[in-house]
Structure formats: C-alpha cells, structure tokens
C-alpha cells in the first residue's frame, strides 16, 4: 500500500509540474500575442533604426510564437528574416523621421551572400546622406564584413576583431565507421562530388581540395575588394593585415590598420549618436528596432494606390525533402509555383533559392513546375548563400539566374549511400535470414553487402539520373550536355566563378532579380507578394503540436550542433539518390 501511495504521489506531483509549465507557456504565448497586437508603433522625429543581428538570419521573418518563447527560455537570439531587414532599411531611407542606422551585429549567423544583401542595402541607404554607425564588443569575420558598410566602425577597447581569411574544415567518419563495423556502400557520378568523402576517406581528395581552394579564394577576394572599397584601403594592404591576425593585434596596430575608426565604450558611442540626432544629453535616444519598424507603414511617394499587377517572390529555403518539418517539401513548393503560374494577377515570378539540394526525385518534381511556370510567364532565380546540386537543378529552367559573388552553386552531380550493417550486427550477436521470391525482392538490404549485380543496378541508376540532370541544365542554359558535364562532375563554384562558365547570368541580389523580372514582364509599377503565405500563429501552434515543436526546441537549445544531428537523423529516411552539396560547408 505504501508503494501505491508513493507512486500515486509521484504521478500527482508530476502532473502538477507539467500543468505549471503548460500554464506558464500559455501566459507567455498570450503575452506575446497581446504585444504583437498592441497599438501601432510610434516613430518619433530624429529616430534611429536599430539593427541587432547577433543571431540566425533566415530568408523570411517567422510568425511562429513558439520560436520567440523558446528563444526567451534559452536566452538565444531569435532568428530575423532577411526580407524584414531589407524592407526596413529601404523604408528608413525614405522616412524623414529616421536620421540614421545603428548596428550592433558583431556575431550574425548567416552566409556571406546573405551578409552581402544587407551590406548592399546599407550602402544604398547611405546614398540618402544619412549615417550608419556600427558598434560591438566582438566582431566575427562575417560580423565585421557587415559592419564595413558603415561609415563609422567602433569597438570596445577590450574587444576582439576577427579578420584573418577564410577556411573550411571537413570531418571524416571512415575510421569511426570501421570501428563500429559499418560499411557505407557508395555510388556516385562526379569526380568533385565530395558529399560522400567523409564516409570513404580520412582526408580530402585532390579534387575536393582543388574546388575548395578555388571557391574559397574567389569569395575571399570578393570580401577583400568590398571591405577595401568601403574603408578606403588597398586590397593588398587589407590582405596583408588579415595575414597578421587582427584578433591578436594591439590597439595601436588595429587603429593604424584602418579596420576600425575608434575604440570606444558604448556610452561614448551613445553620446555621439545623440549629437548626430540632435538629442539632448539628458534624454534617451529615440530608437526603433527591426521587429517594430517592419510593422510601420511608410508611404511610397512614387506610387499611387495599390498596384494590380504583382510579382511573386517564392521562397525555397533548406534541404529538399529532408526528413523534418523544416526545409523544402517538394510537393508543397510545387503547389505554390503552380498556383502562382495560374494566377493571372501575377505577371512574373522570382524564385529565391537558398538550398544545398537534397532528394534527386524531389528536385525533379520541383523542376517540372519551374519549367511549366517559365513557359507561362517570366521566371527569374535569385540565389542566396547556397543554390547547389538539387538547388541548382530547380534553378536551371529559369529565364535568368542571379547570384551573389559569394553564393555557392553548381555541384551538378548525383550520389547514393546505402549502409551495410552486417559486421555491426555480428558484434552485438545479431544475425538475419530471409526468404524471397525473386532475385531483387530484398533490394536494397542494409544487413548484408550488395552483390555485384545489385551494385551494377545502383550505379546504372546513378548514371541515368546524372544524364537527366545534365539534360535539364543544358536545356535551361541553352547549351549541350557535354558543355555542362565539363563544369559539372559535382564541382562547387562560387557565384563569381559561375558567371564565366554560363551557370549564372548576373551578379546581384533579390532586388536585381525583381528588376529583371519586371523588365521581362514590361511592368513599370507592381507590388511584390511573398509566397508561400505564412501560417497564422494559431496554425503554427497546431502544426508544432503534431511534431514540429520538438525539432524547434532542439534547434534553439542545441544551435549549430542540431544541424549535424538533423543530418545524421535524416539519413534514416532520405531518398537513396541525392543531389546535394558536401555536408557542413561553413565558412568562418
């Protein structure tokens, strides 16, 4: 009886604790909804637009209240949408109440193409005669690259600045897999298709090293030229400074290098901002952040009324058909493109791609809808940080392709990975046996090695799909499969490299893609609609209750480590044939 009461008490206490957490979360959720539906944001005269970008930057702003709740609980910065940032900077340029932009973005989590989009918007903002000032205690290399668009860069006297060149580190699992008794059976086409190398080698192949050196140097030269131009330095002097390791430089060396304008404490920077905004010393600065300012309506003096003609920006972000609620789901993206094609008020489409690829089948499904849309109305692709392998597959049918110099693209190649767990099972005392009616009834089996016939079948399938990939690219780029094959073989290119080999048409950002689309559709005036439409907060809550909350919670609390966990977990149910970039290409 005592045990019964013990367990009963434990259940009661556990239920009470669970109820408490539920009520706490409910109140937080209601508070967030209440704040989001509060009165209109008031922008005062002589205000600053505040850019705090020390967290993840995604393609679109999120309407997910759970993201905000989890971020608050974990203390991690919530993600900010690139579209939200760009539209706010553009509005602020023409808003007489905004006198300048103040950046605190020393540690953004974003690729260099995303940073380029924001830098370009800031440089355009400065043409209005308004100022941009940056301050941070610590600048990562990408954070400094963003800050270099400012006319003044300040750092805390005890701070650190990382500007020392690019590197890429790859992790190899071959030795670990051998110890575990796991054989990874690999099928691929493409000398440079290095996504499979971690499973078969213990270091980079010569081909992989070559392609990495080429695109790293291309992106680094682009960064040097942009920073040198903004800071009034020569590329040679800037590169020499980077080789000296600014992170370890003395204050005097750092100032002499020209990387920053001064070492100041935050209160000193605030005093300078008060002078620039004509704010009395005893008063607080009038500042509005991105989340607030994005809801502010600023009339566009060049337009009258609501434009009937529309250009749709369709977002394709993440892996293609990865086994999660995130990323690109081929059927859903295809439906969005199809609906835009059939909508007569949409005169052109810009497909914004930020994807390393994924399922080969999913890529083909999306390609079909892109092709049908391109045959109906102008379709332009705007590439983000990545648009490679499957990401390039879904782009190649476009009328025009726009990429940033630092975009990673190409990687035209295919691979398949099938594990053989036979030795691992033996190690733990397990065996399998089977009965089958036909030669390939159990194909593909993971508890035994492939037979030679099965290997031939799999490789033949890979070769056929690579041929299809080449033909799709050749048709879209108005060239031959042989010409695409010369720059294919799985090789990754920077956007700047890709121009000279006819994989990309123009260097630029999403605004450039919109301008091209408008020109093709003969539109002088239009409005932009973003697709797919975002879910309402309640719809997101219901979706999260069906399984998405766990992934979101893990993403917030595990951060960058969650990407590795998601990749490994995704292999369990991934399509056996993949058109994907090498895993974990992260540039410092």
Q: Is residue 73 part of a domain?
A: yes
Question: Residues 587, 362, 539, 345: is their CA dihedral positive or negative?
Answer: positive
Cβ neighbours around 397 below 10 Å, total = 25
User: How high is the pLDDT of residue 37?
Assistant: 47
347 and 272 within one domain: no
Query: Half-sphere exposure (CA, 13 Å, Cβ side) for 223?
Result: 30
Q: Is residue 22 part of a domain?
A: no
512 and 407 within one domain: yes
Residue 73 belongs to a domain with what CATH number?
3.90.226.10
Q: Bridge partners of 314?
A: 351, 531
pLDDT top residue among 300 and 149: 149
Question: 131-153 as b/e, with b when 16 or more CB fall inside 10 Å?
Answer: bbbbbbebbbbbbbbbbbbbebb
Q: Where are the beta strands (DSSP E) in 463-536?
A: 492-494, 506-507, 527-531
253 and 118 within one domain: yes
Please give the span between the terminal C-alpha atoms of the chain, in angstroms, as a whole number: 62
Q: Is residue 137 part of a domain?
A: yes
Preceding amide of 444 cis, omega within 30? yes
527 and 566 within one domain: yes
Q: Is residue 561 part of a domain?
A: yes
* Residues involved in catalysis: 193, 389
User: How high is the pLDDT of residue 213?
Assistant: 95
Cβ neighbours around 109 below 10 Å, total = 19
How does residue 509 score in pLDDT terms, banded at 50, 70 and 90? very high
Task: Indicate left, alpha or beta for 348 from its phi (over 0: left) and psi (-120 to 50: alpha).
Answer: beta
Give the domain extent around 155.
Answer: 47-164+245-293
Q: What is the pTM of this model?
A: 0.86
394 and 253 within one domain: no
77-86, 123-132, 313-322, 559-568: which range is least confident on average? Answer: 559-568
Instruction: Tell me the three state secondary structure of residue 525.
Output: coil
pLDDT in tens, 211-260: 999 999 999 999 999 999 999 999 999 999 999 999 989 999 999 999 99
Going from the C-alpha of 314 to that of each of 80, 337, 340, 371, the distances in angstroms are 18, 7, 9, 15
Q: Is residue 30 part of a domain?
A: no
Which helix (H) or strand (E) segment is 399 a member of?
Answer: none
316 and 289 within one domain: no
331 and 272 within one domain: no
Distance CA 336, CA 314 (A): 8
Q: Is residue 301 part of a domain?
A: no
Distance CA 238, CA 229 (A): 10
Q: Is residue 180 part of a domain?
A: no
Q: Is residue 545 part of a domain?
A: yes
154 and 60 within one domain: yes
316 and 284 within one domain: no
As for how many domains the chain has, the answer is 2
Please report where in the chains the tokens 């193409």 appear, as a residue: 113
The DSSP secondary-structure symbol of 203 reads: S
341 and 389 within one domain: yes
Q: Diameter of the chain by CA atoms?
A: 87
């Amino acid at each position: 009886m005592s045990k019964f009461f013990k367990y009963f008490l434990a259940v009661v206490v556990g239920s009470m604790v669970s109820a408490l957490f539920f009520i706490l979360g409910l109140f937080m959720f209601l508070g967030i909804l209440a704040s989001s539906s509060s009165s209109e944001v008031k922008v005062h005269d002589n205000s600053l637009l505040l850019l705090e970008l020390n967290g993840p930057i995604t393609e679109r702003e999120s309407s997910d209240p759970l993201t905000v709740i989890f971020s608050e609980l974990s203390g991690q910065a919530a993600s900010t949408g690139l579209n939200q940032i760009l539209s706010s900077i553009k509005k602020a340029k023409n808003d007489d109440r905004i006198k300048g932009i103040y950046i605190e973005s020393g540690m953004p989590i974003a690729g260099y193409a995303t940073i380029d989009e924001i830098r370009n918007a800031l440089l355009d903002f400065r043409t209005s005669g308004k100022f941009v000032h940056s301050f941070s205690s610590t600048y990562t290399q990408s954070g400094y690259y963003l800050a270099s668009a400012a006319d003044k860069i300040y750092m805390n006297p005890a701070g650190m600045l990382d500007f020392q060149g690019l590197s890429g580190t790859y992790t190899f699992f071959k030795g670990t897999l051998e110890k575990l008794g796991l054989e990874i059976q690999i099928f691929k086409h493409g000398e440079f298709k290095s996504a499979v190398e971690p499973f078969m080698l213990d270091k980079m192949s010569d081909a992989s090293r070559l392609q990495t050196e080429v695109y790293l140097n291309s992106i680094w030269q682009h960064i040097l030229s942009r920073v040198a131009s903004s800071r009034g330095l020569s590329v040679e002097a800037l590169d020499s400074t980077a080789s000296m390791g600014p992170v370890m430089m003395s204050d005097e060396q750092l100032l002499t290098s020209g990387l920053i304008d001064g070492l100041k404490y935050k209160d000193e920077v605030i005093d300078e901002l008060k002078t620039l905004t004509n704010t009395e010393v005893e008063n607080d600065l009038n500042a509005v952040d991105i989340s607030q300012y994005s809801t502010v309506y600023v009339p566009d003096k060049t337009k009258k009324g609501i434009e009937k003609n529309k250009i749709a920006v369709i977002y394709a972000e993440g892996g293609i058909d990865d086994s999660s609620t995130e990323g690109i789901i081929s059927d859903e993206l295809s439906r969005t493109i199809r609906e835009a094609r059939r909508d007569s008020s949409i005169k052109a489409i810009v497909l914004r791609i930020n994807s390393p690829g994924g399922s080969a089948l999913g890529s083909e499904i999306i390609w079909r809808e892109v092709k049908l849309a391109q045959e109906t109305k102008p379709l332009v692709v705007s590439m983000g940080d990545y648009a490679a392998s499957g990401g390039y597959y879904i782009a190649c049918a476009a009328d025009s392709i726009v990429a940033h110099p630092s975009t990673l693209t190409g990687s035209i190649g295919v691979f398949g990975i099938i594990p053989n767990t036979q030795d691992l099972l033996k190690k733990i005392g397990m065996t399998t046996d089977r009965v089958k009616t036909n030669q390939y009834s159990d194909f593909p089996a993971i508890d035994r090695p492939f037979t030679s016939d099965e290997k031939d079948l799999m490789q033949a399938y890979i070769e056929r799909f690579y041929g299809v990939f080449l033909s799709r690219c050749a048709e879209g780029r108005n060239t031959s499969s042989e010409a695409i094959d010369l720059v294919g073989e799985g090789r990754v290119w920077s956007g700047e490299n890709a121009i000279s080999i006819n994989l990309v048409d123009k260097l630029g950002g999403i605004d450039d893609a919109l301008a091209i689309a408008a020109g093709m559709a003969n539109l002088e005036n239009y409005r932009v609609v973003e697709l797919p439409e975002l879910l309402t907060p309640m719809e997101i809550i219901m979706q999260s209750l069906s399984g998405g909350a766990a992934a979101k919670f893990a993403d917030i609390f595990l951060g960058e480590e969650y990407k590795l966990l998601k990749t490994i977990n995704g292999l369990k149910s991934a399509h056996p044939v993949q058109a994907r970039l090498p895993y974990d290409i992260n540039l410092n």
